[in-house]
Amino acid sequence: MTDRIRVGIIGAHAERGWARGVHLPALAGLDDYEITAIAATSEASARAAARAWGARHALTDPEELMAHPEVDLVTIAVQLPRRDGLVSAAVAAGKHVYSEWPLAGSAEQADLFRAQAQAAGVRHAVGLQSRHHPAVRHLRDLIADGIVGEVLSTSLTYSLSTPETWSERYAALFDATKGVNHLAVVGGHSLDMYRFVVGGFAEVSATLTTRIRRITMEESGRQIEVSSPDQIAVAGLLRSGAAASAHLMTGGPHGDGFRIEVHGRAGRLVLRSLDDSLVGPEFVLTHAAGGGDAVTVEVPGPHRPGTADEPVAVRNVRRVYADLAQAIRTGGPSEPDFGTALRTHRLLDAIRTSAETGRRQTLED
C-alpha cells in the first residue's frame, strides 16, 4: 500500500445518490485517502463518475475494480438487493471494505462476512455512522460518567413523515422480504445509535404492524401492496438491567424525529432531534439533575474531522473513514465494523422472531 489509501467505489454516480452526496465530500476532507477507481453500470456512466470523483480508472465490472492493483479499499455503495456477492468477493481479493448498511440480509450472513474478513486479515467498516454524531457520543459519555447515577430505564422514539407516492427505485423499502425494508433501514440505523448510547439488549419483545397497506409508484401510477412493517414497537431489558423501549413510526404527513430519554436515580438526560432526518439530524441535549428543571447541555468540541457548515451525514461518514484509516495503518480496531453490524442484525432478527412467534427473545452477549 502506498502512503495514501487508494479507494475504489462501487456504485458511484456523477451527479446524484448517497455516495456522490456523502462519501465523496467525506473522503475529500481526509489526506489519508485517494479515490483511484470507479465501477458503474455502463461505460458512459463510469467515465462520467470517474471525472466527477477525480478517479483515474473507470470500470464497468466490480470484480475488475476489486482486482485492480491501485485499489486498497473497496467502498460498496450499492443497495443490498444489488450487492449479492460483492462483500465476499472484495474480502477474497484481499481488499479492505467499507459496506453501506444493511451489511447483510440476516445475522447469519453478517457473521459469515465478519469471519471471512477476520480470516483474510482485512479491515472493515459499515455505514452505521449516526453513532458518531457529537451529541450522541456526548450523551454516551455522560451516562458512563454517572451524571444521572444508576440508569433505571431508557426509551427511544423516532417518527418519520413519509409520502404515499414513491419512485420505483424505492419499491424494495416496502417489501418485507427485501433487506432494505423499514425494519432493516429505519430500525437498523435507529437501534444501533440507541444501543451505542445505552448499551445492548439482553432480551426483547416486539410487535410489528403495517398500517399503510398500499403505496403508489410515481412513474406509472400503479399501486403496490406493502408488506414491510411501518410500526416497530420493542420492549425489553438492557444488559445493565435497565428497562428499555423503542417505538419507530413511519407514515403520515408529520414526523417529530428522534427522542432518547435516560432516567437515572440522580437525574434525567433527553436527546431530541430538530428534524425527522434519519441519518443527518441536528440534536439538542438536556439534563435535569435531581428534581430540578432541565437545562441545555453544550456539546464540547467536534468528535470527528469536519467543519460545522458541512452536512451532518458527511461529518459522520468522515469519522468512519478516519477511524478505518487508523485501523488499516495500525491493525487496531475501529467501529462501526462488521462486528457492529452483526450485533445490530442479531437484534433485528430477534425483533422479527419475537413479532412472528409472540415470544420474548434472549440475545447473545
Amino acid in the structure at residue 251: G
Reported as a single tens digit per residue, the pLDDT across 181-203 is: 999 999 999 999 999 999 999 99
Q: What are phi and psi of 263, to 5 degrees?
A: -100, 125
Domain limits, CATH 3.40.50.720, in the chain: 5-129+316-334
Cis peptide before 69, with omega less than 30 degrees from 0? no
CATH for 131-303+344-362 (3.30.360.10, 3.40.1160.10, 3.40.640.10, 3.40.50.1820)? 3.30.360.10
Residues of the chain with CATH 3.30.360.10: 131-303+344-362
Percent of the chain residues past pLDDT 70, beyond the cut:
97
CA angle 137, 29, 341 (to 5 degrees): 45
Distance, CA of 286 to chain centre: 25
pLDDT, averaged across the chain: 93
CATH topology for the 5-129+316-334 domain: Rossmann fold (3.40.50)
State pLDDT tens for residues 9-64. 999 888 888 999 999 999 998 999 999 999 998 999 999 999 999 999 999 999 99
Contact 272, 257 (CB under 8 A): yes
State pLDDT tens for residues 76-98: 999 887 788 999 999 999 999 99
pTM of the predicted model as reported, rounded to 2 decimal places = 0.94
Beta-strand pair 361-362/73-76: unpaired
Q: How many CA atoms lie within 13 A of 218 on its CB side?
A: 9
